[in-house]
Amino acid sequence: MPLNKHPQCKLWRFEEPFVFETPYLGKPETIPVLEVGYETWGNPRHPAVLVCHALSMNTHATDLEFPGDETKSWWFSMVGPGRPIDTNRYHVICINMLGGCGGTSGPASINPDTGEPYGLHFPIVTLADMVKSQKLLLDALGVKRLHAVIGGSMGGFQALVWAIQYPDFVDRVIAVGSSAYSNQFMIMTNRVQIDAIQRDPVWNSGHYHGGRQPEAGLAIARMIGFTTFISPLMMEKKFTKYHQSLREPYIDGQFHQQYFHEAENYLHRVADPFTGAFDANSMIYLLQTWNHFDLAVKYGSLAKAVEPVRARMMVIAAKGDNLFPPYLSEEIAKAMQVNGKPVWYELIDDDYGHDYFLIPEIVQEKIAPPLVEFLERD
């Protein structure tokens, strides 16, 4: 079973080759069978809303099966009955990203031709490939049109590609804390995360399946990621200034899992469980997909990239987001305006950091009002 697959996740299996966008040695790359993991909520006869998840999330965007248990879903503040994406009004679908490990085919999947996990033999994945796999599933489910596509962070990448790749299928697009390309800060921090995994001796050039995965490298990668998810100002508010003695963690010549600062302990507290819940090769693949995402490079300019878009677009940014700073969302809005296309740019006055769109109070007070208006506007 894929490591990040939620128990509620359903699988749709396509018994035909899936062709990827990026060729290898001049030949198209394919996998003989495509599996797509997904979950749905609400009445299929209601307008459909596709929720695209971020890097390490899975298909379980809401907590309907476990009401009130915030640990059971990743966007419970946004998706559910009476919430901004109201499952009483919309047919909500969340699909696992191609290349991940939450139900959809990826490096940890078994290659039917060999009986072994693909590992690094899995084809290179682009955002266009991810969206193509999602479209295949929606067609199979009988979804004829999307009222909206919404995603935060890397999910916002997918939302933008949906608007460009299938302009007649999507009515509204909402990119939250996202961008149309990977800036240099993202590329550098993602590169360090990839190197942390690949330099773990257990990684073994990606051939670790059947044994222990590179947990140390994956944990370090995740800690690096978490340093970018909240702003420096929020770090000062979140963690105390308590200092232990320099000798305390090394009592009797032994290293004890207790660090000098609360911030250090926090990083291990959030990163260590991740090593048992995510495939290291999938992490590498998705980070590489992220790093190579650039709509302006692919289409010649960002203005040319959004020329096909027919959907109404909303881009949401926050002042304190140091990973996806507001200028990245502003560039999307300007490209839409150059083409005379409708766009709503919403700048949130909040200093939490990149994960602001996952914080219930911020969602309820600052994101929900304009988002609901955008979804309901004729």
Catalytic residues: 153, 321, 354
Locate tokens 């929720």: which residue?
51
Q: Structure tokens of 126?
A: 């682009």
179-193: buried (b, 16+ CB within 10 Å) or exposed (e) per residue? bbbbeeebeebbeeb
Length in residues, the chain: 378
Burial class (CB in 10 A: 0-12, 13-18, 19+), 237: exposed
- Residue 16 near residue 136, CB atoms below 8 Å: no
Q: Which among 86, 94, 123 has a CA at the least distance from the CA of 9?
A: 94
Q: Where are the beta strands (DSSP E) in the chain?
A: 10-14, 18-19, 30-31, 34-41, 48-52, 79-80, 85-86, 91-95, 110-111, 116-117, 146-152, 172-176, 312-318, 343-348
Q: Which among 53, 46, 74, 44 has a CA at the least distance from the CA of 62?
A: 74
Locate tokens 């700073």: which residue?
325
User: Which amino acid does the sequence have at 208?
Assistant: Y
Sign of the Cα pseudo-torsion (359, 362, 364, 368, in order): negative
**DSSP label at residue 122:** S
- Residue 316 near residue 176, CB atoms below 8 Å: yes
Distances (CA, A) of 213 to 99, 203, 208, 375: 17, 7, 6, 43
225-234: buried (b, 16+ CB within 10 Å) or exposed (e) per residue? bbebbbbeeb
